[in-house]
Amino acid sequence: MKHKYVGFASLLAVLLIIVTSCSSADATPAPTQVAQAPDPGFTPATDVCVVPDVVGLNETAAQSMIAGVGLQPVRSVQHDATVAEGAVISQSPAGGTRLQPCQGEDITLVISLGPLPEPTATPAPTNTPAPTNTSEPTNTPMPTQPSTPTNTPAPMPLSSIWDFDIRVNRRIGSDGFIRDTRDSYQLVVRLNRDGETITGEYIGTTGSACGNARINGTIRGSDVNWTVEYMGNCCRGEKMTFTGDVNEEGTIMTGNIEPIGIPLSSCFLWYADWTAIRR
């Protein structure tokens, strides 16, 4: 009997080992959760725009497309023998450029003025026939000599296209503070003279100078004085005065610029020296 119980106990021990091994083999360990922090250098792209390609379009359509994506069109002009007047010759930045941020960024559009005008031909002088011999005149009483009128100088021919070189030394912003600066700009201006009245308009500008402006002023002797008022979206309603003088030939003017008041918009007005050469 003792051997029988020992054998039965050994059989039970073997069965328990088999059951335990099966249970351990069937258990599948739970997956380990791994936490991962986002990349600290990653920044989602926001306020990104693509500059439209407007080369070859007319000015109105080009400005509309540029403004439609939140950009600011800046106008510049030049003559071009192959691009029609009013069409876009080039742009900067180029079409397809991605800007971030894009709101309010300047896009310079170079607008064609068409080909340069043909120079006016000067007619050849006509030959004056030699005087013929006449008989000796009879003596007659000398007439009373009238008083000689004083010579009145002809008005200077200011009506033309002028190239202005602007050298800015100070500027004033909407906060009213005047700050030193050193900038230069070029303007192409059409001036018209009627007696002592001067009128005109900007044809083209460089850099960030506003391009839509009208001119009203006077000329007395060699002294010139006019006001520039900006009419477009750039500094609309702001004004500056140009004072100076013109040389005797009416080909060169020099003077200075001062702002009128403090600008209300987010633009700057100039204190500057200027030189203008008539084309």
Token output for 212: 């839509």
Co-location of 167 and 260 in the same domain: yes
Q: Which comes out higher in pLDDT, residue 97 or 265?
A: 97
pLDDT given at position 1: 46
Give residue 149's pLDDT.
55
**pLDDT by residue (tens digit) across 2-37?**
444 445 555 555 455 444 444 444 444 444 443 344
Q: Structural domain tally of the chain?
A: 2
Return the higher-pLDDT residue of 244 and 100. Answer: 244
Residue 268 lies in a domain: yes
Query: Does residue 123 lie in a domain region?
Result: no
**CATH number, position 86:** 3.30.10.20
**Is residue 188 a part of any domain in this protein?**
yes
Q: Residue 23: what pLDDT?
A: 47
Of 155, 179, 159, the C-alpha closest to 168 is: 179
pLDDT attached to residue 227: 97
Encoded tokens for 273: 């020296």
pLDDT attached to residue 257: 97
Report the C-alpha gap between 179 and 174 in whole angstroms.
12
Helix then strand count (H, E) for the chain reads 2, 13
Give CA–CA dist 239/226, Å, rounded. Answer: 10
Whether residue 20 lies inside any domain: the answer is: no
The more confidently predicted of residues 259 and 153 is: 259
142 vs 215, residue with greater confidence: 215
Q: What is the pLDDT of residues 78-125, one digit of tens each?
A: 999 999 999 999 999 999 998 877 777 889 999 999 998 887 767 776
- Residue-number span of the structural domain to which 82 is assigned: 49-112
Half-sphere exposure of 86 (CA within 13 A, CB side): 3
The CATH number assigned to the domain holding 184 equals 2.40.128.30
Of all helices (H) and strands (E), which one includes residue 68? helix 59-68
**Average pLDDT along the chain:** 81
Mean pLDDT computed over 232-253: 94
Check whether residue 274 and residue 166 sit in a common domain. Answer: yes
Give the mean pLDDT of 259-276: 93
Q: Is 177 in the same domain as 244?
A: yes
189 in any annotated domain: yes
Q: Which residue has the higher pLDDT, 172 or 128?
A: 172
**Residue 14 pLDDT:** 46
Q: Which residues pair with 188 in a beta bridge?
A: 163, 204
- Has residue 3 been placed in a domain? no
Q: Are 267 and 238 in contact (CB under 8 A)?
A: yes
For the residues 162-186, what does the mean pLDDT come to? 95
* Co-location of 214 and 107 in the same domain: no
**Is 167 or 40 the better-scoring residue by pLDDT?**
167
Q: How far is 191 from 189, CA to CA, in rounded Å? A: 6
Q: Classify residue 37: in a domain, yes or no.
A: no
pTM score of the predicted model:
0.46
pLDDT digits (tens, 9 = 90+) for 138-155: 666 666 666 665 555 556
Domain-embedded: residue 6: no
